[in-house]
A and B are shown apart, each in its own frame.
Chain A
Amino acid sequence: MTAPATRRVARPAVPVVRVGPLAWRVLGVVGLLLAWEALARLNAGSYVLAGPVAVAIHGVEHAGLLGRALRATLVNAAWGFLWGNLAAIGLAAVILLVPRLERLLVALALLVFCLPLVATGPILRVAYGPGDGPQIVLAALAVYYTTLLALLVGLRAVPRSWLDLVESYGRGAGAQLLHVRAMAALPYLAAGLQIAAPAAILGAMVGEFTGAERGLGVLTIRATRALDVDATWTIALLAAGMAMAAYWAFGALLRRVASDPPALLLAPPGPALRRGRRRGAAGAAVMILVALALWQGGMDALGLNSYFAKRPGDVLTFLVTGPEAASHRATLLAAYAETLAYTLPGYLAGLALGAGLACAITLAPGLAAVAMPVAVALRSVPIVTTAPLLVLALGRGSVGTITIVAVMIFFPTLVACLQGLRQAPGDVIDIFASYATGRWRTLVLARVPAMLPAFFAAARMGVPAAILAVTTAEWLATGRGIGSLMALTASTSDYNMLWSAITLVALTAALAHTLVARIERAVLRVYGPEQLAR
């Protein structure tokens, strides 16, 4: 008989107030609310924090307005979610049936994912007019890439013998997809949808920022401009709550589909490792050409007005060959430098803090029980919904922007690194334990190497996330950098500058992503060669 079990049986002679886990949770929530209210009261008049009472009052007073806005946002998010995921499924099917296209299609998908929503939003607004189109398109753009990556991992996470089985009956790739891969990928699809659900809400809200008629995004803009702290907090909490609810709902679906949900790293490090540098460069050149051709051809095919839908040639004239190209470049690069100065520290701080806290939690496992649920919950909250709060709290200077970027990166990194740290093989940990190796050395020698693949996956996915965070913050709040430049040029119809900025940002994101992937490969070649095998 083990000790805890005996103790539990032996004790009831003494009457003890039994506090169950549910009661603890309730107490925790009540305590948190009290602390929040107290903090709000202490800071009253500083226009930073609205307490739970104020939020509740605002919520009740404006229930009708908030309800209508919420419904509008959710409907658009749902449509975007549907279209984005259908696009991802279609792309994944094409890649599976024509594997040669994989590198090109995944790279293009990444490039499109890296387009700053802040700029594509206003352009879509011009193209669509005042309707719901931009919100839906942006929601779709925000979800399709992660779902595509999840599907690509899932469709391949199939034992060789299952595929051999189908092949041994003389059946081809189609039958493998139908009988084996589609079902095997379901848990991965569900995991991808879970990540996509909050992202769709985020995309819809950014779409609403661009001048929609209703929705939570519209209310956010209004409240931020009016410095209405109660409204800002209420809307942010409502949006965050919706995102969390969507995340949990799809989590429940995931648990129904898979008894053992896959630990989804997203962004597999890709094949093509044995290629020489020259072929890599050739591949990149082909990709850029295809992207330019799609840009030009797509706009021509859709017959988009060249007043707002600038072609590659327009951007070239504007930035390089035109009469005032030098001054255009100067304006653009100044804003760009400012943005980089916010983004890099935030990005690196987010990564370092996420990985660091994950390690700390592993050293003191008691911490995990507290930190993990909070981290998982907060990871699901799209940062855009909380950006106005951070700006309220930290001001419109560099600290606020850097913090927003760092927070955006921090939570996914923390969750991924905790998953990674747990991947350390039990046997190895046991061997370390059998030599009475200290926790610190075990962490450094066994767990951190096991964490690296997850860390780098987070670092790569963090690139577009950081750009989204910084441009949104600059646009909504700080009025500096390239995000603000894009907002300004969108409102003054300076579409040449806008498209130049989009090109620069997308290229930067793709390059940064490639750079991180390079570092990742160099590191994983030493610490995790099995991750590169596929």
Chain B
Amino acid sequence: MAPDGPPSATGRAVSCTDLVKVFDASGDPVQAVGPLDATFAAGHTTALVGPSGCGKSSLLRMIAGLERPSAGTIRIGAETPRDLTRRAALAMAFQDAALLPWRSVRSNVALGLSLARQPPDAARIERLIGLVGLAGFNDRRPAELSGGMRQRAAIARCLVSAPELLLLDEPFGAVDELTRRRLNRDLPALWQGTTAILVTHSVVEAAMLADRVLVLSPRPATIMAEIDIPLPRPRDEDDAALRDRIAAIAAALRDSGPDRVLAAQ
């Protein structure tokens, strides 16, 4: 690994078997997921694409150990999600960045280490802030940053603890189109080699970031199609081969439920 390369290069395969999630908060049970079988290859980035409300976030939250499956199992290597969180070996990025507003960028990134019960490492924190392109903003508060910069800081916080599994829940969903393009181009190199699972409703984003795309059906979520994206990085949105993949994902999505296509875009 080059001295300036990505800080983590170990990943684990994730497998879901007969996975079901039923929400029953109001006495009116809603099946959000499954039964669903899926595997996520070690060291690869897999994107989950599906119409709004199809249950893809629930799937991600179960893998993160934030929700318990109603039935079925999730294994990360040989471990359960809870085992992994107990070792603080996974990290999750949220749509709203989830930076604590009273902490500076540096301190927010440092939180990734302290929550993972790892010793503080100023040099490593500095290096990650530099890698996500926030050098010089160490002492700024989140309120002083643009949406894209906040997401960069959140990604740095995820990576600082060298997680074995990276979960991204529409991390660039709330930033503008131009910023989003730039983040899609710059950031994937940072977690190359780590197993990453990305939830998105953007077909383009899935094609830009992932090695493989799983297209989910409307609720309850099941896997409708798998599309490999064997293209080199960094990728270019206007590249013909990528356009071809984007069209394939969009077609699979259209087949998954005609009336959901508008919501999906």
Contact = CB atoms under 8 A, between A and B. Distances in A.
A361 to B, nearest CB: 32
B2 to A, nearest CB: 28
B100 interface: yes
Contacts of A179: 100, 111, 115
Interface stretch (A94-102, A166-174, A282-290): A166-174
A161 B96 contact: yes
Contacts of A167: 65-66, 85
B85 A168 contact: yes
Interface string B60-103: 01001110000000000000001011111011101110101010
B98 A170 contact: no
A180 B108 CA distance: 12
Contact of B65 (A165, A170, A180): A170
Contacts of A165: 92, 94, 98, 115
Most buried by B among A159, A166, A169: A169
A166 B91 CA distance: 10
Interface in A119-166: 159, 161-162, 164-166
Contacts, number: 52
A164 B96 CA distance: 12
Bin chain B's interface residue count.
20 to 34
A186 to B, nearest CB: 8
A183 interface: yes
A316 interface: no
Contact of A170 (B88, B95, B96, B111): B88
A169 B85 contact: yes
Interface residues of A, number: 15
Contacts of B161: 169
Contacts of A170: 65, 82, 84-88
A168 B165 CA distance: 11
A237 B139 CA distance: 47
B65 A164 contact: no
Contact of A164 (B66, B87, B100, B116): B66
A382 B167 CA distance: 54
A501 to B, nearest CB: 46
A164 B65 CA distance: 10
A263 interface: no
Interface in A463-495: none
A179 B111 CA distance: 9
A334 interface: no
Contacts of A34: none
Contact of A161 (B82, B85, B94): B94
Interface string A26-41: 0000000000000000
A179 B96 CA distance: 18
Contact of A183 (B66, B92, B100): B100
A164 B98 CA distance: 9
Given A167-B66, A169-B115, A162 B100 contact: yes
A168 B100 contact: no
A120 to B, nearest CB: 39
Most buried by A among B82, B95, B100: B100
Contacts of B95: 161
Nearest to B161: A169
A304 interface: no
Nearest to A164: B66
B103 to A, nearest CB: 8
Interface string B38-71: 0000000000000000000000010011100000
Contact of B66 (A162, A168, A180): A168
A165 B61 CA distance: 11
A354 B100 CA distance: 38
A162 B91 CA distance: 13
Contacts of B111: 179
A169 B92 CA distance: 9
Interface string B159-183: 0010000010000000000000000
Given A175-B115, A183-B102, A168 B96 contact: no
B143 to A, nearest CB: 8
Contacts of B66: 164, 167-168
A506 to B, nearest CB: 37
Contact of B100 (A169, A171, A175, A180): A180
B102 A168 contact: no
A179 B94 CA distance: 17
B77 to A, nearest CB: 16
Nearest to A175: B115
A180 B167 CA distance: 21
Nearest to A166: B115
Interface of B: 61, 64-66, 82, 84-88, 90-92, 94-96, 98, 100, 102, 111, 115-116, 161, 167
9 contacts: A161-B94, A161-B95, A168-B66, A168-B91, A168-B167, A169-B91, A170-B82, A170-B87, A170-B88
- The list of the 3 closest CB pairs from A to B, nearest first, reads A170-B85, A169-B115, A161-B98
Given A169-B116, A175-B115, 17 more contacts: A159-B98, A162-B98, A164-B61, A164-B94, A164-B98, A165-B92, A165-B115, A168-B92, A169-B85, A169-B91, A170-B84, A170-B85, A170-B86, A170-B88, A171-B88, A171-B115, A179-B111
